[in-house]
Chain A
């Protein structure tokens, strides 16, 4: 079971290739049964299946949930599988828990703010390094009749990306022990008040009717030039390029304040593939897990799904915006996604919606987040 409904075709082809390979090499007749629930419902379905003793042989999960699922006994230790040797070191780090590799990473990405390079070039604008520079860009854009930011807040995970980026940058750049202290009940969102700098700037200079725009339509609007910047990950590039194949897409890290050290792109592994320990066909399941990083076939899959390279065997040309983002990574200007409790992440999305429509203030936001964090780690 996988959470890639948008890549159904690619994975089906890959599963067929796997079936053929098994037949040719080991004379095993394998039938891969792919299930792709929509990403909104994926976790509910997975949980229902796991608790109903009807676990899928292989399933995808977000790397943030690895330790929860591991504690519940739903993950197989894959440390000694051949694929682990092919992984890039920095990617391997993102999925190692207690010295064990429990999943196959699939999606790993560097992302920040998407911007329309055509508009930026036309106005001679450069990617900003500080909040002041971002403000200047916003002004210039407005003076030239462009809407600076695209806002699509109907789905809560989209506004949530702003907290992901701002907290990530601020924490990694200035207060590296914040997450640890939050877990220990010894920190506060008060220390993170800076995050409202860019958040206010974005919300005040964005497109209208944000609460009615979903992520897909938002990406399409962005592709059609309705705004010059969009706080959205590179995973939206599929929709964007499909809507407007001539789009020149760029990525820059979101500045939080005027401390350049906080201006970082997010490098993280999101979707990973796990093998369930109670699988009746664990041998084959493990073979499939390894096949995801197959020497010959993997590159084609990763290229066709526009996933970023994660292993030494991946040798395809990346898209310009990926190259953009990885340039920051190479300069050491990236941070590892903060591992926050799921309840905290979701509450941030909800509160940002409320903050946008004006039903909570900054102080209420901070107070509420402290409560939710405390409740989640109780």
Chain B
């Protein structure tokens, strides 16, 4: 066998390509971002000044930023529950089928394969034309809402489209976890007189805890960065009623007064929030995981 040191070196070589890509395209820009958050750079000028923490001070009084944080938090909580519950439900349903598993798996995963911008524009059409038509012809009056124009309903629309896009991905992870639950454990439980709910609750559920950790981690961090769905559906409007943090940051950096430095300061704050939350989430959920 190799010595420990040599083994480590070999492992390092294996991850090197991914590591280099990560350092170059993720970590390096992120660190640069921290640096720019201390400047007043506007993104096009060739010169800029260090202004210390002035950007961060200004953020505390930025009403629209905190409103967008509030909106994003609401979105995160709802999407976290909705998409994970739906994904788990689908995974269990499909796993319990004998036939056509592959077909259903592919069908539900499919939305993942198109960009959410395109998916979003498709849904705009559905919400503004198809549903409108349906409500008109079938008399389903509750459908006749301004689905993407009225902030109350557009939030629902955003949740629908987002879960449509993410459920398939989460479902695959849950399915993989479900397949990993040893059959003999379930059989033993059944022999002991457990009904199917009990089997799920007391055998399957604890055995797929690690999938929860991954799925919730993933949906948490991606939900905080929600952008494309909202951009395609409402553009953050009317006004700023459905503006997420990512959109607020985008507008600060590329629109309006083009304040690149200020925008990176905002994203630094977003990063800290997401970082702390996911860290706490991982800590709590890791503790609950069962080892076989």
Give chain A's interface residues, CB within 8 Å of chain B. 43-44, 47, 50-51, 68-69, 71-74, 153-156, 209-214, 341-343, 346-347, 350-351, 353-354, 356-357, 359-360, 375-376
Contacts and interface: CB of A to CB of B under 8 A. Distances in A.
A353 B148 CA distance: 13
Interface of B: 43-46, 124, 127-128, 132, 146-151, 234-235, 237-241, 251, 254-258
B177 to A, nearest CB: 39
A51 B256 CA distance: 17
A43 B254 contact: yes
Contacts of B254: 43-44, 47
B150 A357 contact: yes
A211 B255 contact: no
Given A43-B254, A342-B256, A353-B239, A209 B45 contact: no
A343 B151 CA distance: 23
Main SS of chain B's interface residues?
loop
Nearest to A355: B239
6 contacts: A211-B148, A211-B237, A212-B124, A357-B151, A357-B238, A357-B239
A359 B239 contact: yes
A212 B240 CA distance: 15
The secondary structure that dominates the A interface is helix
Nearest to A342: B256
A357 B149 contact: yes
Contacts of B43: 47, 51
Nearest to B144: A209
Nearest to A53: B46
A212 B128 contact: yes
Nearest to B257: A343
Given A156-B235, A353-B238, A353-B239, A347 B256 contact: yes
A342 B258 contact: yes
Contacts of A346: 251, 255-256
Contact of B257 (A44, A153, A342, A359): A342
A212 B127 contact: yes
A7 to B, nearest CB: 22
